Amino acid sequence: MGDIQIAKLDVIVIVIYFVGIVGIGLWAGMKRKSHADSDSYFRAGGTLTWPIIGMALFSTNISTIHMVGFAGEGYRTGLTYGNFEWMAPFLLIVLALFFAPFYLKSRIATLPDFLEKRYCNVCRNWLAGLSIVSAVFIHIGFTLYTGALVINTLFGIPIMASIIAAAVLTGIYTVIGGLLAVVVTGALQTIILLTGSIILTVIAYTKIGGWDGLTQFVEPAKLTILRPSSDPANLPWYSVFLGYPVIGLWYWCADQTIVQRVLGAKDANHARTGPLFAGFLKVLPVFIFFMPGLIYLALVNRGDFPPLGSPDECFALAIQNLLPPGVTGIMAAALLAALMSTVAGALNSIATLVSYDLYKQWKPQTSDRKLIWVGQIATVVCMVIAIVWSKYIGRFSSVYQGCVDLICYVAPPITTVFLFGVFWKRASNKAAIWTMALGSLMGLAVFVIDWNDYFNWSVPGLLAGFYLFCACSVIMVVGSLIQPHKHTEESIKLVWENPLAALKETGWPGLANYKFLSVALFVTMVVCYVSFLNPKAMPAPDAGVTHAGLTRTVYNDQVSVTNEEGVKTDQIVRNLHQLLFASNDVTRLESSIVENLDTSEGLEPNRVYEYQGYFEVTREGLHQFEVVSSQKLDVRLNSVTLSLYDMTSGTDKDTKLDRTYIAQIHLKQGKHAFATYYYPSVPWKLFALKDALGNDNEKEIERKAAWETQPRVFKIGTIAPEQSDVTAIPANALSHTQ
């Protein structure tokens, strides 16, 4: 994939963005210095209004992880991962109704401070340390890397140079301006982010021909928000409703990086209305972040563009292939806005945590000026750590999925402690300590240990988070009953008498009332879900549904796809991609290649060899490969089937495949259809070839591809005679032998 040429107009747009955003951040910092106290620096002096809070919450949440990952998931799985966006408003309602009033009432600067007032100092210190680590390694590290990756793809700027430049520019106005600079720039960045994303979506939507064009070239299931348990995306509907509230309650109601905007609110009404405004904004990402990826898939299936080497390339390629000069600069500015707003928010929360929850605990008499200085030093140090850590994130195969899995194992104990602390008077400090300690250890064990290796057992991340929450809840309840809590006059005020007590406060009159807005947001989200909940879009396995005008043709021998005269190889590749995505019975992802070989390589023609199939399992953010079948395939006609070790976007000790595309293959109940597409000049490793006739010649073969411009011959191999409805063959593109 070649780098795009940077147009002068794009450069001008990006420069204007950098100068403007840093200038506004510094202006906010100068304004803050007229009130040079720690409350102004860390909480913006309690002056934030609901529009600023709502847009800052949105911009801090939507990082480059989301922009890159959501487009990739839209390409790979459709809208199903949009649940992470559309479930968020329900948790923002919880924040507005139940948590925000307590946070404002207790006049806390940090969430660990809240835990100390509700439980004890041990809980405070534990959460402070965990929050700092998560801010550095999740919010900042992942965000810097994904943003730099796209900038590298678009403009050829080295990844580390992009990381350092973005970190330094963000750090300048964050260190100087504090929370006020963060939220003011965050509000502006929200506008830029939404503008750029909407432009990309509209252009892509127009190019595919609107809704009719989109539905013609993608499976109906990809347009469904909730999926059954058999869906290949591995995100069934029940895991969404059970698991997301666990991680969502931590993220939206108990994560310092997010909630700090609420802590700076002018009053309780602003603290409640701000999150509700952010909830309405969260309706948009499914349409402006996921939909471009889904549309790009439709364009690939239509033959406009070649298949992607990795879904994570979708966002950058959509910008590169769809946007004109100038607009590309706007989209790059939107990407930088997502990066800088998230990093700035995390840095400010780190400064607050270190100053209030660590340093001031050690030296209670520290002056405001000294606290600000400590926070600024902490900001710089943690930024350097995040830059170093970001170098290693490239080892993850899916940055977004790795981030989600990590949160699923970190969140449950924190969610449990906050939830029981606010709604159950008997929740005790001793039980909270045990819950956070044992819950964190259990989460670490589930995350680090591959249980499938030992017990043939694995659980998707969201369900694992739910099970961990259940275990933590048991610890919390049993511990509180055994060792009851002794409430202070302050702590008893931080528990609701009953859930309905949260609705007794009157709030603003009319349509701005938080009760009305909460109901309106709830109804809006229900309508969104119902609109994209279509049972007809969930075909049963082997349903034989035809997509994109492709027809199913049964062959009883072998089908060859060759680059015959008059047929372009790249068109064959596109048709193959359409063919594979038209399948409805995909249960495995398999990496394989069928190519012509001669006897000089030790693989004789007209023999039967054993084929070992491998499929890719994404766990802990890493590529893993397991043998799922061992089939004897007839490889007559001078061809042989070889398995290919796919390390797309990853490395092992022997080889690295960089931007390699391996087609999705279906392998179910004896059906076999193999094809591959790969970029030229790619090193690859062939292995586990065994003579099935008993000859002892198992060997590994390593060589480098040497194609300068064209791939080799493509074949779809060995269709079992007894099978029917095996695959779809575009009649005008493939030659075959019956």
Per residue in 3-40, pLDDT (tens digit) is 445 677 778 888 888 888 888 877 876 765 555 556 66
Q: What is the pLDDT of residue 86?
A: 96
pLDDT of 609 above 70:
no
CA 92/CA 275 separation, integer angstroms? 6
Q: What is the pLDDT of residue 602?
A: 39
Question: Does the domain made of 8-394 have the CATH classification 1.20.1730.10?
Answer: yes
pLDDT of 603 above 70:
no
CA 433/CA 111 separation, integer angstroms? 16
- Could you tell me whether strands 650-651 and 592-596 are parallel, antiparallel, or unpaired per DSSP bridges? unpaired
Q: How confident is the model at residue 482 (pLDDT cuts 50, 70, 90)?
A: very high
Residue pair 268/102 in contact (Cβ under 8 Å)? The answer is no
Compute the C-alpha angle 50/51/57, nearest 5°: 85
CA 63/CA 572 separation, integer angstroms? 37
pLDDT of 328 above 50:
yes
pLDDT of 480 above 90:
yes
Question: What does R_g of the chain's alpha carbons equal in angstroms?
Answer: 27
pLDDT of 545 above 60:
no
- What percent of the chain clears pLDDT 70, i.e. is strictly above it? 65
pLDDT of 366 above 70:
yes
The SS3 call for residue 653 is coil
Highest mean pLDDT among 107-116, 603-612, 667-676, 704-713: 107-116
Q: What is the pLDDT of residue 300?
A: 82
- What percent of the chain clears pLDDT 90, i.e. is strictly above it? 22
- Could you tell me whether strands 639-644 and 650-651 are parallel, antiparallel, or unpaired per DSSP bridges? unpaired
Q: What is the mean pLDDT of residues 147-166?
A: 81
Q: What is the mean pLDDT of residues 201-213?
A: 92
Angle, nearest 10°, between helix axes 368-390 and 141-155? Answer: 50
Strand partners, 596: 639
CA 514/CA 94 separation, integer angstroms? 12
Highest mean pLDDT among 18-27, 169-178, 274-283: 274-283
CA 307/CA 327 separation, integer angstroms? 24
Average pLDDT of the residues of the chain: 69
Buried/exposed code over 414-423 (b: 16+ C-beta within 10 A; e: otherwise): bbbbbbbbbe
Q: What is the mean pLDDT of residues 410-435?
A: 94
> What does pTM read for this prediction?
0.69
Q: pLDDT (tens digit, 9 = 90+) per residue, 210-248?
A: 988 888 888 788 888 988 876 666 788 888 999 999 999
Per-residue H/E/C for 356-373:
HHHHHHHCCCCCHHHHHH
Angle, nearest 10°, between helix axes 111-118 and 121-134? Answer: 160
Burial (CB < 10 A; 0-12, 13-18, 19+), residue 599, is exposed
pLDDT of 581 above 60:
no
pLDDT of 732 above 50:
no
Q: What is the pLDDT of residue 44?
A: 58
Q: Is the dihedral of CA 715, 716, 722, 727 positive or negative?
A: negative
CA 706/CA 594 separation, integer angstroms? 17
Q: How confident is the model at residue 388 (pLDDT cuts 50, 70, 90)?
A: confident
* Range with the poorest average pLDDT among 321-325, 547-551, 596-600, 642-646: 547-551
Q: pLDDT (tens digit, 9 = 90+) per residue, 72-106?
A: 889 888 898 899 999 999 999 999 999 998 888 87
pLDDT of 644 above 90:
no
- The phi and psi torsions of 613 (rounded to 5 degrees) equal -90, 140
CA 143/CA 393 separation, integer angstroms? 10
Q: How confident is the model at residue 402 (pLDDT cuts 50, 70, 90)?
A: low
pLDDT of 374 above 60:
yes
Please name which of 141, 67, 73, 63 lies closest in space to residue 398, comparing C-alpha atoms: 73
Q: How confident is the model at residue 400 (pLDDT cuts 50, 70, 90)?
A: low
Domain extents in the chain: 8-394, 559-716
Q: What is the pLDDT of residue 664?
A: 27
pLDDT of 362 above 70:
yes
